[in-house]
Structure 1
Amino acid sequence: MLHLLKIEWLKLKNYRTFWILSALYLISIFGINYIVYRIQENIYNAKQAKGMAELVIGSRPYSFPTVWQMTSYVSSYLLFLPGLLLIISITNEYSYKTHRQNIIDGWSRKDFISVKLVLAVIVAFISMLMVFITALSFGYSSASSFDTENIFYLGYFFIQTLSYCMVALLFSILFKRGALAIGVFFLYSLVLENLIAKPISHYFNDAGRFFPLESTDTLIPLPVFESMQRQISAAPNYTVFLIVAIIYLVLYTFLSIKKFESDDL
């Protein structure tokens, strides 16, 4: 596998678009959290509020231990970017026929798809690491004591990011063309699933939450007003949604492997 990953690195190291998007994504994680952090500081430090923010909202979202959840939640709005990274990486192979050349050079089809699966895991792990660094930065900036309570939300963020990457990988193999795969991925992840899931949840007792990406989104709720929300309705069973998310990941993997193995090169 290490040999295959070295070859994958050789493919990507001079792929400028991939690295520009990667840098933009990592910077955006810090940037979007900084914007929300500044809004938090303006609200909590406003003289007119006089402690009302703590009374109504609770402790500062970017203080420990809530910062782990808050940073993961805010960063999740950028998950179309790692999905885009997977799409351009895979569809570029189809455009330049490098996947075919790899097979001719002795790779099995499973070798090729396995490398892409590992790439998805690496992208998800680096995303989680960046969220960890960002959470530490803003947690200490809020003058709160370090606390690992709620740090498990980073694990949820890893699962969520990996899910978006795997959906992107599956669409790339299904559609092969970059523009088409990107369009379908954006349409599904940002629009279509929400349009379908929301009314189903309304009429069928939150059944829409079990949709592929919605199930991972449910794992990381917005911590602001969360306690008030729990007084109105029962908190979801996060263990169930975690299991559902993992089942979907297995399904994405199975479908991607089967599709690539059965496709014409």
Structure 2
Amino acid sequence: MLRLLTIEFHKLKYNKASKILSIIYFGLLTSIALIAAIKFEFGSFKIHLADAGIFNFPYIWHFNTYIASILKFFLLLVIVSMMSNEYSYKTLKQNLIDGLSKKEFILSKFYAVIAFAAVSTVFVFIVSLVLGLIYSDYNEFAIIVSDLEYLVAFFIKLVGFFSFGLFLGILVKRSAFAVGAMFVWLIIESIFKGFLYWQFQGSDNSGDKVDSIMQFLPLEAMANLIKEPFSRLGAVRSAANTMGEIFTKSYSVDFLNVLIVSFWTFIFIFLSYKLLLKRDL
């Protein structure tokens, strides 16, 4: 494993675009801290986001992993460019000539995916922990370590998403087309979701029926791992209660979603390997 990872990071070391994108990505993750400085003023109404509870433990684990997951597209570009460069610079063929098997080649890419996801998770953990220790109203150890499953969900989400990107990179061989294919798939899932709503319109619990089907599609499953955290805020709930709205939404990490994303991750890596086996290099 270490040998294969070394090969991958040696390639990335000399890829200027990948280094710039990685720096931008981790820079943006760090910039989550800037949210603490944001203040809104509407006449006599003033709100300071840091005082609104977004950095309170354990809510911060949910909030930061959700925000950080939005930025994953920067690392997706690194993943797909890794594959396009293999074809552009003929390094894939050279690796195979030098004795690397196709299985080892795919594993080296998958290990790189896991490494990127793991480093991102640790980075978000450190940023969140520091922000929480500075701004949180609750600093008891038991509260700090609760809801850490959002970090696990974040890691699984990144591995699944990057594995999808890796598969598309092998499939179309060009990074721009691979990213485009990802957005096309997103549009397809969105159209299919709209079709389901049309099919179930007028029936009882139509939204639940649509969700029960959509949860098995890859991007929807990844999105379901970390649900939006904003309606979980006390201020939002209080405002909703004054208008007669009651939130019954579950924000927990569903084990079924973890299994679905893990299954799709396996499928993407397996298909990548099979595609490489059949392809004439």
> Which shows bigger deviation, 4-13 or 126-135?
4-13
Q: Is the 8 A contact 1:61 1:223 kept in 2?
A: no
Match of 1:240 in 2: 256
Secondary structure at 1:185 match in 2? helix
Match of 1:4 in 2: 4
Residue 69 (structure 1) aligned to one of 53, 58, 62: 62
Inter-partner Cα distance in structure 1 for 2:197 and 2:250 = 15
Q: Aligned residues, how many?
A: 256
Q: Deviations over 1:85-134 (max 9, x none)?
A: 11001110011111001111111111111100101100111111111112
Q: Is the 8 A contact 2:81 2:174 kept in 1?
A: no
Q: Deviations over 1:243-264 (max 9, x none)?
A: 1111111111211111111111
Say whether 1:188 aligns with 2:204.
no
Match of 1:132 in 2: 125
> Which shows bigger deviation, 20-29 or 239-248?
239-248
Residue 216 (structure 2) aligned to one of 210, 227, 242: 210
Inter-partner Cα distance in structure 2 for 1:238 and 1:200 = 22
Question: RMSD across aligned C-alpha pairs, in angstroms?
Answer: 2.9
Q: How far is the alpha carbon of 1:170 from its aligned partner?
A: 0.5
1:157-176 alignment runs, 5 A limit: 157-176=154-173
1:22-37 alignment runs, 5 A limit: 22-31=22-31, 33-37=32-36
Q: Deviations over 1:157-187 (max 9, x none)?
A: 0011111101100001110122211221244
What is the one-letter code of the residue matched to 1:3? R
Over 3 Å counting, the alpha-carbon distance change for 1:111 and 1:50 in structure 2 is closer
Secondary structure at 2:157 match in 1? helix
TM-score by length of 2: 0.81
Secondary structure at 1:62 match in 2? coil
TM-score by length of 1: 0.85
Match of 1:178 in 2: 175
Over 3 Å counting, the alpha-carbon distance change for 1:250 and 1:201 in structure 2 is farther
Match of 1:79 in 2: 72
Match of 2:229 in 1: 223
Over 3 Å counting, the alpha-carbon distance change for 1:221 and 1:35 in structure 2 is farther
Q: Is the 8 A contact 1:197 1:211 kept in 2?
A: no
Q: How far is the alpha carbon of 1:49 from its aligned partner?
A: 5.9
Over 3 Å counting, the alpha-carbon distance change for 1:137 and 1:195 in structure 2 is farther
Q: Deviations over 1:177-209 (max 9, x none)?
A: 2221122124434x4433433553673331223
Q: Is the 8 A contact 1:80 1:164 kept in 2?
A: no
Identity %: 29
